[in-house]
Amino acid sequence: MEESRTKVTILTGSYRIKGYIDLLPGARLTDYIIEAKDFVALTNAEVYESVLGGRQVLTAPFISVNRAHIQIVTPGH
């Protein structure tokens, strides 16, 4: 199956996370998040403090974000 990397920004109570989610072509980001089990996988992740202008606290080739902590998710950066 062909996958498509989709840029996303995820906001949690503590962090702003930028990275990529692998979606199947034609799949909707909303459906992916709803159907995710406990964690959402991101590649090429950058994690920042959630405050305006917050410092970068982590970069990683892969992270899993606990879905229960996601408050906002949007395509793009």
Predicted pLDDT of residue 46: 97
Q: For residue range 4-63, what is the model confidence (pLDDT) as tens digits?
A: 889 999 999 999 999 999 988 888 888 888 888 899 999 999 999 999 889 999 999 999
Domain holding 15: CATH number? 2.30.30.100
Give the model's confidence band at 2: pLDDT under 50 very low, under 70 low, under 90 confident, else very high.
low
Query: HEC profile for the chain?
Result: CCCEEEEEEEECCCEEEEEEEEECCCCCHHHHHHHCCCEEEEEEEEEEECCCCCCEEEEEEEEEEEHHHCCEEEECC
**Residue 31 sits in which domain range?**
4-75
**What per-residue confidence (pLDDT) applies to 33?**
85
* For residue 72, pLDDT beyond 70: yes
Give the count of domains, the chain: 1
The residue that leads in pLDDT, 77 or 66, is 66
**Structure token digits, residue 8:** 């996303």
